[in-house]
Amino acid sequence: MLAVGNYLSAQDTTKVAQVLKSAAKLKKAVDKNDDKGVADTYVGMANDYYNQGNYAKSEEYLIKAKALYQKLNDKKNLESTTRKLAQSQEKQNKITPALSNYSMAAQMNYSEKSKTVNSNDVARLSSPTPELRAEAIQNNINISKKENEQANVAEGYSQLAEINLQQKDIYKAEANLNSAYVISKKEAPQQALAINQKLADLYVENKKFDKAIEAKKKVLKEDFVKENSQEKVNQIQELADIYIKKNDPKEAVDLLRNAYGIALDKGHTLEAQKSVKKLDSLYAISGNVDASVQLYRDFLGKLPNLVSKDRSLVDNKILEDTEQRISQLEKEKELKDELIRKKNVFNYGLIATLIVLTGLIIFIFRTLKKVQTKNKKIALQSLRREMNPHFIFNSLNSVNHFIATNNELEANQYLTKFSKLMRGVMENSTDDFIPFQQELDLLQNYLALEKTRFADKFDYEIDVDDNLNMQSLQVPGMLIQPFLENAIWHGLRYRTDKGFLKLSFEKNTQYLKIIIEDNGIGIEESKKQKTEHQKTREGRGMKNTLERIKLLNDLYKKDITCVVKDKENSSGVLVTIKINL
């Protein structure tokens, strides 16, 4: 864990540690066949997820704990678990099951206080008038104050603010949210952040932008934000959004640049990308194409180092593996219960053993298959991410050459097209398959750019079968572009006269056929013209593409085939790709 935690925030490290600790407790309880220990562990895990804002996971473990407490007839824990389950469901806006669980908790009558609190929550969710709902909330606030339960007091004030808004009483809503924030920030930072966001949204909705800015600046000064770089970046981005709504793009740009810098320094890839996209949008509005291009150059140049710093993938893998271990422990517990029930019956015991052995073999087989599939997906994702910088850096070389050899007006037009192409590539870089129309648009943009640079070297044509459904058909993104790049850079540009490149898409009954045909110098002649240095370096783009095809076939059974060869009766290269439909 120490090695993994080098680049993790304190909060992330704590999250991992909590899950690992819970898994160890669960294993100990399962080993002892201790149902109460298992239920208590579930409740602890549910509370951790609730405090992190993951209410769906909290609900999942509370349902398991509730079932065990019912089996054990543990009324005290059953009442508190049922109430917490209702709160988790309410946070997800599942009002009907939440109301049912609040009612169930109230009917358990474990104590007068718990009965009153749960009854008040039933009234809060079901009363027909805002006045009655507010009265129920105030009753719970008074009880929580008496018991010194500060988090519940803060939650009550937040609920009162919602009633105030329904009554159009902005002043009271603001006062109650401020009270909730002051109370919660001491003991429940996650709750304080949610309340602060409600307050900022209230100000923005009522055009009180300065107050919204003040509220966000206040939360940025809190220790629980300053000590969590990821949360700090998120809060700065939210502050920038308020400035945008205030129509102050200059301040928003400064804030987003600050957020971008922190994300780069601390190794938060997704937060850095989010800042880049927001900045790009602001630059696009102001028409500052140069700033947008420079921003993407900077981001792409720092991306390898950023990814090496960002350990969130490792963190998520640890959490995922631990979740799988917990699921495995649950299965082991079920297995033990089954064996205990049947241990005195020899015949059934023998059958149970055979079932267990078969189940274990299937489980191991499926687990190995899942691991293999997951590794292939990670490899495919890595190749796809590697493909984008490869393509972009090659394109940037074209940009540099064009700027150096053409006039300023043409260079600016080229950069504008290039920026648009980059945005398209970035937006489509996260999925293995994208709509055919999007891929076609990217290829058209790419060929238009290369044609601008090599105007005297080639003409091109794109032929699309009318029977192809442009939107519903899904194809691998950036699979065709490397072949077009090879045709232009290694074939057509060496011709003494103008060449021709044709890209065709044909639909057959079972597959999509893609044909890339050029009349360049051909593969063998291209090899002869390479320098000794070039011969020692294998084209990474082409190798990457062929590896992607193999992985796509393994994962998705697309039966993609690719044949690259010199044309038989004339110069040039013919590439034929088939994708199973």
Residue 196: inside a domain, yes or no?
no
Q: How do residues 515-553 score in pLDDT, each as one tens digit?
A: 999 998 888 888 777 665 555 444 566 778 888 888 888
* Lowest mean pLDDT, pick from 186-200, 308-322, 498-512, 567-581: 308-322
Residue 367: inside a domain, yes or no?
no
| 303/423 same-domain check | no
Final residue belonging to a domain, choices 266, 294, 309: 309
Residue 275: inside a domain, yes or no?
yes
| 425/567 same-domain check | yes
Q: What integer pLDDT is reported at residue 255 of this predicted model?
A: 93
Residues 6+ apart with CB under 8 A from 548: 380, 383, 384, 387, 476, 479
Residue 8: inside a domain, yes or no?
no
Residue 243: inside a domain, yes or no?
yes
Q: What integer pLDDT is reported at residue 318 of this predicted model?
A: 56
User: Are 331 and 325 in contact, with CB atoms under 8 Å apart?
Assistant: no
Give 348's pLDDT tier (boundaries 50, 70, 90).
Answer: low
Q: How do residues 55-64 score in pLDDT, each as one tens digit?
A: 999 999 999 9
The CATH number of whichever domain residue 302 belongs to comes to: 1.25.40
Query: What kind and span of H or E run contains 549?
Result: helix 540-556
Q: For the chain, how many structural domains are there in total?
A: 2
Tell me the C-alpha distance between 172 and 25, whole Å.
Answer: 46
Tell me the C-alpha distance between 327 and 311, whole Å.
Answer: 24
For residue 398, pLDDT beyond 80: no
| 305/451 same-domain check | no
168: left (phi over 0), alpha (psi -120 to 50) or beta: left
Tell me the C-alpha distance between 18 and 45, whole Å.
Answer: 8
| 441/293 same-domain check | no
Q: What integer pLDDT is reported at residue 1 of this predicted model?
A: 32
HEC assignment per residue over 397-420: HHHHHHHHHCCHHHHHHHHHHHHH
Q: What integer pLDDT is reported at residue 383 of this predicted model?
A: 47
Final residue belonging to a domain, choices 284, 309, 334: 309
| 450/303 same-domain check | no
The CATH number of whichever domain residue 494 belongs to comes to: 3.30.565.10
What is the extent of the structural domain holding 243?
229-309
Tell me the C-alpha distance between 475 and 379, whole Å.
Answer: 18
pTM of the model: 0.51
| 426/554 same-domain check | yes
Residue 521: inside a domain, yes or no?
yes
Residue 123: inside a domain, yes or no?
no
Final residue belonging to a domain, choices 309, 343, 361: 309
| 295/425 same-domain check | no
Residues shown for the chain: 581
| 571/429 same-domain check | yes
Average model confidence (pLDDT) across the chain: 82
For residue 235, pLDDT beyond 80: yes
Q: What integer pLDDT is reported at residue 333 of this predicted model?
A: 61
Q: How do residues 108-140 score in pLDDT, each as one tens digit?
A: 877 888 899 999 999 999 999 999 999 999 999
